[in-house]
Amino acid sequence: MGDRITVSFNGSGEIVDACSPSEHSAVMIGLVTETGNSCSVALSNGLTASGSCSDTTFAVGDLVRVSASSLGTLSLSQVSAGTSSAALQVAERTLGSTPLAEDVVLYDRVGKTHAVQIALEDLLVDSVPASRILYTATNSAGEIDVLVLDDVTGDAYTYGIFSSGTKTEGNGTMQVTNRTVAVENSAGLSQECLTGTAVPDGQVGGLVPSSDGRVAGLLVLEEVEDVSRSAFDGTDTVTLSGAAVPISDQVQVYNTDNGQWISLAQAKAYTDTFTVYYSGTLGTDAKVRVILTQSLS
């Protein structure tokens, strides 16, 4: 009684940490949404932390720990990876014997690259092995309220049509030429990444860049040709080889006749037949990522 303490609350108003004033307050995690001398982080509890930031090396989309050592100043650090000792059972909403919180927040990332926030419903598999769980956190009730997964959903990739090339660096006789790959979609051409393997120009797939401009993840999508318009159930699913496959909210649709990226509704109004590209495995975790119209000519 009488001791001065620092108390931290979560978004529900629960006390999640208490420490002496000389210690740092409770650490939270979230995605960087703004960088520079002034930075912002979208926290896992739904709030946004903003303030001056002494470390400007972080990029938008980085998953970070956030603490505040003084008023208006944020301290950011990378979320360290560490595998879980238990598997995630999706339908049961448990990690081993530990239940997930009702408001659990999930992230998916490829290695140490930028993370994307996902929903539990985005997990199309029954179970996620412990080796694919990078980070967990619990609330005051002992429930899992934050989970970071390692390339489980495929949602961390940028999907579209690969554009391959080369990049020469160095001077004089010390020049080195490396292969490069980028992805073109409705957002334009992504950053050009160095790759050690040849990627056929025009192939359809997904790309994840690393912080040093190299390929951190590259995914060639599976293809199904001659898919009729009647196989689509609105914009939600499409039937491929007898399996109803969900269509990504970020699906990329390309008109092969005029070379334009369009909406799915525009594509269905244009033609009756499509080539559909999906990640994952039909019947389990497949998801449609890219759709190409088949030529009318």
Report yes or no on 83 lying in a domain: no
Domain count, the chain: 4
Same domain, 140 and 171: no
Q: What pLDDT score was predicted for residue 69?
A: 67
Residue 69 and residue 94 in one domain? no
Q: What angle do CA 273, 277, 280 make, to 5 degrees?
A: 140
Q: Which of 189, 219, 249 represents a domain boundary (last residue)?
A: 219
Residue-level pLDDT at 264: 97
Question: CATH code at 285?
Answer: 2.40.50
Q: Are residues 230 and 201 in the same domain?
A: no
One domain for residues 13 and 38: yes
Domain boundary among 131, 150, 169: 150
Structure tokens at 192: 């050009």
Going from the C-alpha of 291 to that of each of 201, 212, 217, 245, 294, the distances in angstroms are: 17, 30, 21, 13, 10
My answer on whether 134 and 196 are in the same domain is no
Instruction: Give the domain extent around 240.
Output: 222-293
Closest by CA position to 98, among listed 117, 84, 108: 84
Do 107 and 167 share a domain, yes or no?
Answer: no
Dihedral of alpha carbons 94, 49, 61, 117, sign: positive
User: 24 and 70 share a domain?
Assistant: yes
Question: Which pTM value belongs to this model?
Answer: 0.84
Rg (CA), the chain: 22
Question: How much is the pLDDT for 26?
Answer: 53
Cα gap 256→265, rounded to integer Å: 15
β-partners of residue 12 are none
Q: Counting Cβ atoms within 10 Å, is residue 124 exposed (0-12), middle (13-18) or buried (19+)?
A: middle
238 and 278 inside one domain: yes
pLDDT for the residue numbered 176: 84
Along the 297 residues of the chain, how does pLDDT read in single tens digits?
888 888 888 777 888 778 776 655 455 788 898 888 789 998 887 788 898 887 778 888 888 888 876 778 888 888 877 768 899 999 999 999 999 999 899 999 998 888 899 999 999 999 999 999 998 888 878 899 889 999 999 999 999 999 999 888 877 778 888 899 999 999 999 999 999 888 999 999 999 998 888 999 999 999 999 999 999 999 999 999 999 999 999 999 999 999 999 999 999 999 999 999 999 999 999 999 999 999 876
Which of 219, 240, 265 represents a domain boundary (last residue)?
219
Residues 170, 205: one domain? Answer: yes
pLDDT on residue 74: 87
Q: Does residue 228 fall inside a structural domain?
A: yes
Residue 216: left if φ>0, alpha if ψ -120 to 50, beta else—which one? alpha
Task: Look at residue 1 and tell me if it is in a domain.
Answer: no
Angstrom distance (rounded) from CA 67 to CA 86: 28
